[in-house]
Structure 1
Amino acid sequence: MIRQLTEKDRNQILAFAGDRPAENLFIIGDIEAFGIEDDALTLWGDFDSQGDLLSILLRYMGNFIPYAQDPDALDGQSWAKVIQESGQLGRLSGLQSLVEKIVPHIQLPIVKKQTCQYAKRDLQLPIDNQEKLTDVKMLFPEEAEKVIQLRNSRFTSYAESPETLQKNMNKGISRTYYIERNNELVSSVSTAAETRRAAMIVGVCTKKDYEHQGYATSCLIKTIRALRAEHKQPCLFYDNPKAGRIYERLGFLPIETWMMVTY
């Protein structure tokens, strides 16, 4: 039985999704940030006859994310009906094994389909004590423009504004570590969607003239240490094999393929 969830269901939802805090970073993060009964967010649950959750579906704005502990328990056809009847579908994303069960039942044209690797780092894994560089600084929220300028120079489709980054930093769901040279920010690593138990690493970049000098790796190590001190599991997306090898050397292991389908 599928029904819309309310604040009364919070503990059951978090227990269900909390078994995999990295994989459910966006679902848990949105619940922590907005609650379950916010205009921008809707949650549904599919229950068995004993009242236990089989799967859940989150809508944040036009993005839908499904989750099930057992992919075989996810009813793709029923969830596709819920998504289409909402009239708000812009993107369906999540673990590929779950998203692929829903996509065939959605009767809308697909604009784009993308996949990337989703990786996480075990909290108990030791961290190399020898940082390549020690002059890694933490960005203040009012300095958000600096890191956005760097990202825009390296990423062709980066959309976050300085105002949004600053707001997220002030809310405590994002942070940035960076390296400066000649009073210029040349490398940085940020987090996004931080929850009590996990954080997404994003925006790993270095100015072209400063590449291959260990700057981004130093920022990553600083970020990992900070998250580990707060018992937050770091996770990230990547679709570049070269970047994947760097992340693997730092202890990140692939979870599963993440799929994003735009309608």
Structure 2
Amino acid sequence: MIRQLTEKDRDQVMSFAGDRPAENLFIFGDIEAYGLESDVVTVWGDFDGQGALRSILLRYLGNFIPYAREAELLDGKAWADVIGRCSALTCLSGLQSLVKKILPYMSTPVQKEQLCYYAARDLGAPLDKSTARKDVKMLFPEEAEKIIALRQTIFSNHAETAATLQKSMDRGISRTFYIERNNEPVSSVSTTAETAGAAMIVGVCTKKEYEHQGFATSCLIKTISALQAEHKRPCLFYDHPAAARIYEKLNFIPIEKWMMERY
């Protein structure tokens, strides 16, 4: 049985998804920020005959994310029907094994598909700080514009605004570490969707003329160290072999592939 969930279901939902906090980072983050009953977030649950959850589906604006502990327990057709009744669909994303169960039943044509690795770092994994540069700074919210300017010179499709980044920092769900040269950022690393137990690392970048000098790695080490001190597990996406080598050296372990279907 599928029904829309309310705040009365919060404990059951968080317990159901709580065994995999890294995989459910976005689900936790959205529920912590907006609750289960808002215009921004809707959550549905599929229950068995004994009232236990088999799977859940979260909507954040037009983005839908499914979760089940085991893929065979996720009813792809039923969730496709739920999504189809919503007019706001822009993206279906999640662990590949779960999204693939829904895709055959989706009637809306996909405009773009993206598949990347989803990796996380155990809280107890060792972190060698001896190679990190000493000139890594932490960004203040009012300085957001200069990091956005850096990213726009590196990422061709960068869409985040300084106001959005500052708002996320003010809410405590994002932070940024960076290195400057000539009073301008040349390398940076940010977090987003920070929850009580995990955080997504994003925006890892370095200007071309400063590459291969350990700038991004130093920012990553600083970020990981800060998260580790707060018992937050670092997570990230990657699809580039060079990035994979950097992350593997920092003890990030691939969880599963993450699939994003844009509509």
Partner residue in 2 for 1:223: 223
> Equivalents in 1 of 2:175, 2:234: separation in Å?
13
Cα distance in 2 between the residues matched to 1:56 and 1:196 = 20
SS in 1 for 2:85: helix
Letter in 2 for 1:41: V
Aligned partner letter, 1:187: S
Cα distance in structure 2, aligned partners of 1:228 and 1:200:
13
Aligned residues of 1:131 and 1:221 also touching (Cα < 8 A)? no
The 3-state SS of whatever aligns with 2:93 is strand
The TM-score with structure 1 as length reference comes to 0.99
Q: What whole-Å deviation, never above 9, does each CA across 1:201-257 have from its counterpart, x for those lacking one?
A: 000001111111000000000000000000000000001111011101100010000
The equivalent of 1:208 in structure 2 is 208
Matched to 1:174, the amino acid is S
Regions of 4+ moved over 2 Å: none
TM-score computed with the length of structure 2 as normaliser = 0.99
What are the Cα deviations for residues 172-219 of structure 1, in whole angstroms up to 9, with x where unaligned? 000000111121111100000000000000000011111110000000
What SS does the corresponding residue of 2:231 show, helix, strand or coil? Answer: coil
Q: What is the CA distance between 1:132 and its match in structure 2?
A: 2.7
Equivalent position of 1:173 in the other structure: 173
Give the 5 Å matches for 1:14-33: 14-33=14-33
The C-alpha deviation readout for 1:151-177, integer Å capped at 9, x for no partner, is 000001011000000000000000000
> Post-superposition shift, 1:114?
1.0
| Superposition pairs of residues 1-263 of structure 1, within 5 angstroms | 1-263=1-263
Instruction: Give the RMSD, CA atoms, in angstroms.
Output: 0.7
What code does the residue aligned with 1:110 have?
V
CA drift of 1:35 comes to 0.7
Instruction: Give 5+ residue unaligned stretches, structure 2.
Output: none
CA contact 2:132–2:221 (8 Å) conserved in 1: no
Aligned length, in residue pairs: 263
Once the two structures are TM-superposed, the CA of residue 89 in structure 1 deviates from its matched residue by 1.2
- Worse-matched range after superposition: 85-94 or 51-60: 85-94
Letter in 2 for 1:108: T
The answer on whether the counterparts of 2:190 and 2:203 sit within 8 Å (CA) in structure 1 is: yes
Give % identity: 68
Partner secondary structure for residue 196 of structure 1 = coil
What amino acid maps onto 1:32 in structure 2? E
Letter of the 2:174 counterpart: S
Letter in 1 for 2:81: K
For structure 1, the residue ranges without an aligned partner over 5 or more in a row are none
Distance 1:94 1:129 in 2: 33
Counterpart contact for 1:34–1:41, Cα < 8 Å: yes
AA partner of residue 94 (structure 1): G
Between 87-96 and 54-63, report the one with greater CA deviation: 87-96
Deviation at 1:113, TM superposition (A): 1.1
Query: Any conservation in 2 of the 1:55–1:74 contact (CA below 8 Å)?
Result: yes
Contact 2:14 2:28 in 1 (8 A): yes
Deviation larger for 120-129 or 170-179: 120-129
CA distance in 2, matches of 1:86, 1:145: 35
**Partner Cα separation in structure 2 for residue 17 and residue 139 of structure 1:** 32
